[in-house]
Amino acid sequence: MRSLLFVLMLLALAIPALVAQDLTVPMKNGSVKFAVIGDTGTGDKHQLAVAKQLTATRAKFPFEFVIMVGDNIYGGNSAKDYDKKFAIPYKPLLDDGIKFYAALGNHDDPSERYFKPFNMNGERYYTFKPADGVRFFALDSTYMDEKQLKWLDEQLATSGSEWKIAFFHHPPYSSGETHGSDETLRTQLEPRFVKAGVNVVLTGHEHFYERIKPQKGIAYFITGSSAKLREGNISQTELTAKGFDAGYTFMIVEIVGDNMYYQTLTDTGKTVDSGMVHRVGKVEPTPNRTSQPVVATGGSDKKIPAKPVK
Amino acid sequence: MNVIRLLVLVALGCALSTAPAAAQTAAPKPPKPQISTATKEKAAEENANPDALVLADFQKRVDAYMAIHKDAAKDAPPLKETKNPAEIKATQEALGAKIRAARATAKQGDIMTPEIQNKFRRLMYPVVTSPAPQGTAGKEVKKDVKEELKENTEERKEEGGKPVVLKVNATYPPDTPLPTTPPQVLMNLPKLPEQLEYRIIGKNLIMRDVDANIIVDLVPNAIQ
């Protein structure tokens, strides 16, 4: 009887990992593998469930780092809060040496930039290069002042032919009923992104998952439901390539050459979206575009309804 | 005669029916400049633009605050990257305590004097209140600010927080989200050193010391 109970217990522990078996990303050697989470810092059971599934997924898909798109620590920011809302949920990943790269959300105290495990180098906005040919730009969308925009222009101008992936909190495009597209921010950023050839933008703020149809050659993803959820909050708009507002999610991403594969999973390991972003090869610089890459296509857009049937 | 009466009645009816609609859509008028006599006299004497003098005065007051900040920072432990969040908070609080002590008598209006407040309201009016806002997305700014305030208030209620009270030289209310400052607003306001920032809390604009987490001063009813 005891043996049976022990086997059952082992099975129960293994279930999340088993559910997350159907990975569609190619898992090539030498590729850039990472995960994306957003609006995480609640410390509640939903954050823990997503964190657990994220850990289980890593057993199959060995991502090297995690992008946090803001609202990393909700409410208080005492040492206890950092433990409850970050260190404890992601302990297995942190123990494995997985790096987290955070952007600031509207619920984050800017002093989070000094928290070493967020890898922000004490800056509100920063850039990092996890591998040759791929560069990330973390922006502070809560305070987009002239200084930051100037910095962004300079960084984008020197980033050459790399994959350019920007991540920040507020989505320039969104079908959310609560917030919707941040048009003010879009006015500031989009022309710069287009000019410099930014390929992908990762955001949160809206508590759901949405993949936007590529806009002006840029792929936009919203992953703001890694701990908070606004059920049924996605409006039917022309922007949506795929929306999921019925569960907690995170993304796994793999870059192989000119292709970026993505898969969005729920806290139970169910796949809600997957596909590939392909960037067009090298294009000569023009007065309107200083760099080359542009996104050519999305994933399985038309086959999946914008809103899941509940 | 009856025709004239009828026309008058119709005209009156039209006027009455359109008046409330017009009143509903009318945006607040732009704030009138309020320049002090001293500034006006100085402007006349120096053949200078009074608004430029107001902004120069603001800069001078910010510089004076920054001198206090830098002086306090000399004795406080430096803010640096750490694995220990308690260290970040302690450093912030230590700096905050030194600045608060150095400005023990600070009150609202020390930096944001009435004429500076008026200038700021005028600078913000085109992007947040004007019926013909600046830029393509300008009309969204006020909506964004309102939405964020609503969301933050709801969240604060959910978390059992008390209503936010803004007090000059006090710590920014703990557990209170820092609302996003729309880029258009930032573009229109005088630049601040990196240790300071503007934030819109409700209808008020605050100037916050980022490293010390202190409300340095504020402009009440910056958004009308």
pLDDT in tens, A175-221: 998 888 988 889 899 999 999 999 999 999 999 999 999 999 899 99
Q: How close B41 comes to chain A (CA, Å)?
A: 34
Instruction: Indicate the SS3 state at residue A216.
Output: coil
* Dist. CA A243–CA A82, nearest whole Å: 30
Tell me, yes or no, whether B224 lies in a domain. no
Say if B25 falls within a structural domain. no
- What is the rounded CA–CA span in Å between residue A155 and residue A290? 12
pLDDT reported for residue B132:
56
Residue A299 pLDDT level (bands cut at 50, 70, 90): low
Cβ separation A146–B175 shorter than 8 A: no
Q: Mean pLDDT over all residues of chain B?
A: 83
Instruction: Summarize pLDDT for A134-154 with one digit per residue, the tens.
Output: 999 999 999 999 999 999 999
In a domain, B22, yes or no: no
Nearest Cβ partner for A187 among B137, B175, B213: B137
- What confidence tens digit (pLDDT) does each residue in A51-84 have? 999 999 999 999 999 999 999 998 888 899 999 9
* Domains defined for chain A, CATH in brackets: 28-297 (3.60.21.10)
Length of chain A: 310
With b for 16 or more beta-carbon neighbours within 10 A and e for fewer, the B157-173 pattern comes to eeeebeebebebbebbb
Whether residue B5 lies inside any domain: the answer is: no
User: Which residues in chain B are closer than 8 Å to A141, comparing Cβ atoms?
Assistant: 180
Q: What residues of B are in the A interface, CB distance below 8 Å?
A: 79-86, 88-89, 92, 135-137, 140-141, 144, 147-148, 151-152, 155, 159, 174-175, 177-184, 186-187, 191, 194, 197, 210-211, 213
Say if CB A239 and CB A179 are below 8 A apart: no
Q: What pLDDT is stored for residue B78 in this prediction?
A: 87
pTM: predicted TM-score of the whole model, two decimal places: 0.83
Angstrom distance (rounded) from CA A73 to CA A60: 28
Residue B21 placed within a domain: no
Q: Does residue B11 lie in a domain region?
A: no
CB A39 within 8 A of CB A204: yes
Identify the pLDDT of residue A281: 62
Host domain of residue B96: 34-219
Which among B89, B151, B210 is the nearest to A110, CB-wise?
A: B210
Sheet holding B196-201, edge to edge: B196-201, B204-209, B214-219
Total domains in the fold of chain B: 1
Give the pLDDT confidence of B199-213 residue by residue, as tens digits.
Answer: 988 889 999 999 999
In chain A, residues with a C-beta closer than 8 Å to the C-beta of B178 are 106, 108-110, 142
Helix (H, G, I), strand (E, B) or coil at B6: helix
Confirm whether B58 is domain-assigned. Answer: yes
Give the count of Cβ contacts less than 8 A between chain A and B.
97
Two tokens at A56?
């289980």
Q: Which residues of chain B have pLDDT under 70?
A: 1-27, 130-142, 152-162
- Asked whether this complex has an ipTM greater than 0.95, the answer is no
- Rounded to an integer, the average pLDDT of A33-50 is 97
Q: Is residue B168 part of a domain?
A: yes
pLDDT at site A309: 34
